[in-house]
Structure 1
Amino acid sequence: MINRQELKQLQSLTSVPALSILLPTHRTSPDNKQDPILVKNLVNEATERLREEFSNRELAPLLNNLDKLVNEIDYPHTLDGLALYVSHDFAKLYYLPFSVPARVIIDQTFATRDLVYGMHRSLRYWVLLLSQASTRLLAGTAETLEEVQDKNFPMEMTGPGGTAPLPYHADSSYLDDRHRRFFQQVDSALTYYDDQEFLPLVVGGVDRQVSFFQEVTQYPQSITGIITGNFDKATLPELAPQVWSAIQPVRETQRQDALQELENAVNAQMVVSTIGEVWRLANEGRGKLLLVEKNYHVPAIVTEDQHLQLVDEPGGTEVMDDAVDEIIEAVLAKGGNVVMVDDGSLSLYQQIALILRY
């Protein structure tokens, strides 16, 4: 699961040309046999478009990076979507747990709108499965779970009561204190993944250990669900239905809260909803919350006086294939938030609305 820090890094890169290739993929056979064909077709389209605007010499480093990246794709283990980002000095691919439309975008920055949309459309959250033997962290995107396996997790309780026996004189209160200290370490490690994002958190484990974690956590407001039991040996397919039941109500609540915030902001005259004004104020850092209908895309250019001017068709280095993507990036880069809503939800606001800080 791509996290917010990786997304910000991707959005900060500027290069001409910056090539983004996005496509839906399939998890199972025989459907996934068509994925390499679609990749080849999109790569051919990208190459043809690039050669219309740049010389072979100018393109050589980028095309070399693209070839290497395509060869790295692990087709038997793809998820629901694939994103390739390539420039002269950067190449990275992401397996996405949500579908994206097949698109080739050539611009000055990478096209991250579909990643942002997928991340917001498909509720993202953490699952923390508590155990002194092996506390596990799972990254959730909708009904897809991925286990985090790195320098922090799974995390084992070391020392007395964990990897070492309890002292002879120890009583139950001593062991309880050891558990609290261990879960403090677990909680501190969460900061590495959830810094400034505060995604919903499902906590699982036996009742006593869940209670200890609730006592020591610095994220009590993030806990949106609890599942009880011993999950040391539970597989991800076994966990998914139970976790999804605990987290599913959160997504609708988030969307309803965003629409209510929009209504409140309209009454306070703190909303703009023409794309030109949204563009200007987002880039000035005045955007608190951007609401966008999920299928709203418009190509545009920036005029000499820095105004946004819509055009009929994408194409050419001066044209942004999707101005909405650029607005999303600007809002996030300035510390604002983005919520994608269903088509038609913003019919009174021309499909896009920006709630202002001031």
Structure 2
Amino acid sequence: MNRHDIRLLQAMRHYPSVTITLPTHRTSPDNKQDPIRVKNLVTDATNRLLGEFSRRDVEPLLSRLDALVNDIDYRYTLDGLALFVNRDIGRMFILPFTLPERVVVDETFWTRGLVFALNRTLRYWVLALSEQPTRLFEGVREHLQEMTNEGFPMTHTGPGGERGLPNDPAINRSAYRDERHRQFFRQVSAALTPFITDDPLPLALVGVDRYLAFFREVSPHAGAVVTTLTGNHDKTPTHELGKLVWPLVEQNLAIRRTEALKELDAAISAQKYASTLGEVWRFAHEGRVDVLLVEEDYHQAVRVADDGMTLTPVDDPTLPDVVEDAVDEIIAVVLENNGRVVFVNNGALPQHQRIATILRY
């Protein structure tokens, strides 16, 4: 799941729309309980629907939900599962992060928890450059999920790719082939643009030296590249490719965290920073946050005053009129305003009470 998927779900409005989320398990014996928990949640959703509608009215929705559940292969579940069903669609996402156990029947799908979980997940793009074909993956740690829409995977069908080079002695075959490769990787770059625009994550490139060079030469997205894995990996299984790429990405993210802390020190000297939860909340909602730094496991439930800016921490996030996690809210607001979020190690921001910002002005 990526932000594009969430936007599609958020755009759909029809009552009833059913959302089912739950944590799942990767290994036995913990995953033995997952089918039972899914069945119980589906029964809960079904009973809610039949308490309000006739079976005939909701039979298409229930059939779609049953079809989704029947497609779950519990041998390959990860940390979370989300099901979305209404009269028009049925979508299932197997996710590499945990989700609360919840059934929601509403006019819209419940995506709030997904947004917050997605915001806290270290994700990245992997673009595996090749003629046969170029593939795009979304990565979470060592787990890769291939994108099979919006033009990907993409095969070089022109001369120098699937089609042979022209048999003309007047043509410099090497230069001709190189130019056709440049054209192909321009097309790859254009297909990548919607993904990078919707979800501007770090980009890892995979490929032989020639293809890496061509992409960097022709693509406006070369600046998003954080690491490269050199070599021909056309036949490398996805799970093996993830194991090769993730350590390189992880190393780069560690460097970025160090650089962000240095940027914060410079912002403190220039008096262009804010810290503590209440101050960061205010500046985030004013759209002034350029970079948000937050410790990885920092969560805080709060009650927000009528002015919308004054926060009072509370211990119980389930109380009425309480924002379950003000830190998640801040992260979402910063990202919506095109700010950057950097998660740092726990204990890295003690003088700032675990959260700090570099301000735009």
Question: Structure 1 pair 251/232, CA: closer, same or farther in 2 (3 Å)?
Answer: same
Question: In the alignment, what sits opposite 2:327?
Answer: 324
Question: In the alignment, what sits opposite 2:301?
Answer: 299
The yes-or-no answer on 1:236 pairing with 2:238 is yes
Q: CA deviation at 1:150?
A: 2.1
Q: 1:72 aligns with which of 68, 75, 82?
A: 68
Q: How many residues align?
A: 344
Question: Structure 1 pair 297/13, CA: closer, same or farther in 2 (3 Å)?
Answer: farther
* Pairing of 1:77-226 with structure 2 (within 5 A): 77-83=76-82, 94-97=93-96, 99-100=97-98, 102=100, 110-111=112-113, 112-118=115-121, 120=122, 124-169=123-168, 170=171, 171-195=173-197, 197-226=199-228
Distance 1:330 1:267 in 2: 26
Could you tell me whether the CA contact under 8 Å between 2:64 and 2:85 is conserved in 1?
no
Residues 308-354 of structure 1 show CA distances to partners (whole Å, capped at 9, x for unaligned) of 33334233552222222222222222222222222222221122223
Q: CA deviation at 1:206?
A: 2.8
Q: TM-score scaled by structure 1? A: 0.78
Could you tell me whether the CA contact under 8 Å between 1:13 and 1:110 is conserved in 2?
no
Q: Which runs of 5+ in 1 are unaligned?
A: none
Distance 2:89 2:287 in 1: 28
Q: CA deviation at 1:131?
A: 2.0
Query: SS at 1:72's partner residue?
Result: helix
Query: SS at 2:120's partner residue?
Result: helix
Q: 2:271 aligns with which of 269, 272, 280?
A: 269
Distance 1:44 1:260 in 2: 52
Distance 1:20 1:346 in 2: 37
Question: In the alignment, what sits opposite 1:355?
Answer: 358
Query: SS at 1:195's partner residue?
Result: helix
Could you tell me whether the CA contact under 8 Å between 1:135 and 1:155 is conserved in 2?
yes
Q: Which has the higher contact order (CA 8 A, sep 6+)?
A: 1
Distance 2:65 2:222 in 1: 41
- Worse overlay, 180-189 or 324-333: 324-333
Query: SS at 1:329's partner residue?
Result: helix
What is the root-mean-square deviation in Å for CA atoms of aligned residues? 4.1
Residues 236-255 of structure 1 show CA distances to partners (whole Å, capped at 9, x for unaligned) of 13323322343231110121
Q: Which runs of 5+ in 2 are unaligned?
A: 105-109
Distance 1:246 1:46 in 2: 43
Q: CA deviation at 1:231?
A: 2.4
Sequence identity of aligned pairs in percent? 46
Q: CA deviation at 1:144?
A: 0.9
